[in-house]
Amino acid sequence: MTQTVLFPMVIKKWAIKFFAIGVVLICSCKLTYAQIIYQPYSFQFYQKLNDQLYFGDSNLHTAVKPYLISDSSSLRITYDSLMNLGVDTNRKSWLSRKLFNEHGFDDRNKDFTFYADYLPDLQIGKDLTGKKNTYLNTRGFQVGGTIGTKFFFYTSAYENQGTFPAYLTNYIHTIGLIPGQASEFTLGTPDWSYATSLIGFNLSKSVSLVAGVDKTFIGDGYRSLLLSDFAANYPLFRATFSLGKHVQYMAMWALLQDQSATQFPSQHAPYRKKWAAFHYIDWTITNRASLGFFNAIITADADDNGSRHPFDVNFINPILFSKSLGPSTQIPDHTLLGFNGKYKVLDKTTLYGQLLFDQETSTASSGTEYGYQLGLRGADLFKVHAFNYLLEYNTVKPYTYSSQYPLVNYTQFNETLGDPLGANFKELVGILNYSMGKFDFQGELTYAKLGLDANNISYGGDILLPSGIAPTSVPGFGTNTTLKYAEGKVAYLINPKYNLRFELGLIYRNEDGPSIISKTTWITFGLRSTFRDIYSDF
Helices (H), 387-437: none
* pLDDT tens figures, 24-71: 444 444 433 446 889 999 999 999 988 888 877 778 899 999 998 876
pLDDT at 73: 76
**CA dist list (Å): 184 to 179, 480, 524, 536:** 10, 31, 22, 17
Antiparallel, parallel or unpaired: β 349-358 and 112-127: unpaired
Three-point CA angle 49, 50, 53, nearest 5° = 90
Round to whole Å and give the CA distance between 159 and 175: 20
Of the candidates 418, 401, 403, 426, which has an alpha carbon nearest to the alpha carbon of residue 482? 426
Of the candidates 338, 398, 340, which has an alpha carbon nearest to the alpha carbon of residue 366? 398
Antiparallel, parallel or unpaired: β 247-258 and 234-243: antiparallel
Round to whole Å and give the CA distance between 193 and 232: 11
* pLDDT tens figures, 152-190: 999 999 999 999 999 999 999 888 889 999 876 665 677
Phi, psi angle pair for 80, to nearest 5°: -65, -35
Round to whole Å and give the CA distance between 167 and 277: 33
pLDDT at 70: 79
Residue 469 has pLDDT above 80, yes or no: no
The CB density around residue 363, as the number of other CB atoms within 10 Å, is 11
Burial class (CB in 10 A: 0-12, 13-18, 19+), 57: exposed
Round to whole Å and give the CA distance between 386 and 47: 10
* pLDDT tens figures, 497-538: 999 999 999 999 999 988 788 899 999 999 999 888 889 999
Residue 226 has pLDDT above 90, yes or no: yes
Residue 1 has pLDDT above 50, yes or no: no
* Mean predicted lDDT score pLDDT of the chain: 85
* pLDDT tens figures, 295-346: 999 998 887 777 776 666 666 666 665 554 445 567 788 999 999 999 999 8
Round to whole Å and give the CA distance between 485 and 429: 9
pLDDT at 184: 65
Rg for the chain, CA atoms, rounded: 23
Round to whole Å and give the CA distance between 384 and 338: 36
**CA dist list (Å): 249 to 14, 292, 315, 433, 457:** 26, 9, 16, 31, 41
Round to whole Å and give the CA distance between 101 and 98: 6
pLDDT at 339: 97
pTM: 0.89
The larger pLDDT score, comparing residue 504 to residue 77, is at 504
The strand pairing partners of 337, in sequence order, are: 295, 357
